[in-house]
Amino acid sequence: MRLATSCVFGLALAVTVAPFAAADTPMPIAVRVKVVGQGEIRLIVADGVTKPCESSDNHILFQGRPRAGDEIKLESITGSVCVDHTYGSLRESQWAGPSIWSGSNVGAFGGPREAVLSGAVSTDNP
């Protein structure tokens, strides 16, 4: 009888705790970066909120040379990304400066967080 009571109590505890553990598990949030303008730029997107984007506190998600019209599709675990890109006539060295894009962890009235974190970078402007 004692063993049966312990099993029932343990099962009840596991059922009660499981939903709370699942809520704390980080879920990826989609990140979309659209490149607008003309030509090619350098772009870096990192998961995290530290500037510069190449900081060791961040995780690089993308570092490359997209062209105008490209849409870079990534996933962030933290819900925030650091984005930096080149622009203008010096597209190898003229960086716009890092910016942090953040999504909410919890939606309105405690619902799910935003499904997509999106924005655009310009080949012509910072």
Side chain identity, residue 104: S
**Residue 10 is assigned to a structural domain of this protein:** no
Residue 124 main-chain phi, psi, to 5 deg? -105, -25
pLDDT one-digit tens code per residue, 81-104: 999 999 999 999 999 999 999 976
User: pLDDT grade, residue 121 (50/70/90)?
Assistant: very high
**Residue 38 is assigned to a structural domain of this protein:** yes
List, in order, residues 6 or more apart from 105 with CB less than 8 Å away: 79, 113
Average pLDDT over residues 114-121: 87
pTM for this entry: 0.75
Structural domain boundaries, residue 61: 26-122
**Residue 90 is assigned to a structural domain of this protein:** yes
> How many domains are contained in the chain?
1
- Four-CA torsion 93, 94, 95, 97, nearest 10 degrees: 140
pLDDT one-digit tens code per residue, 34-43: 999 999 999 9
**Residue 94 is assigned to a structural domain of this protein:** yes
**Residue 86 is assigned to a structural domain of this protein:** yes
Residue 117: which CATH number?
2.60.40
Q: Look at residue 20 in the predicted model and tell me its pLDDT.
A: 46
**Residue 20 is assigned to a structural domain of this protein:** no
Strand order in the sheet with 71-76: 71-76, 29-36, 116-122
**Residue 4 is assigned to a structural domain of this protein:** no
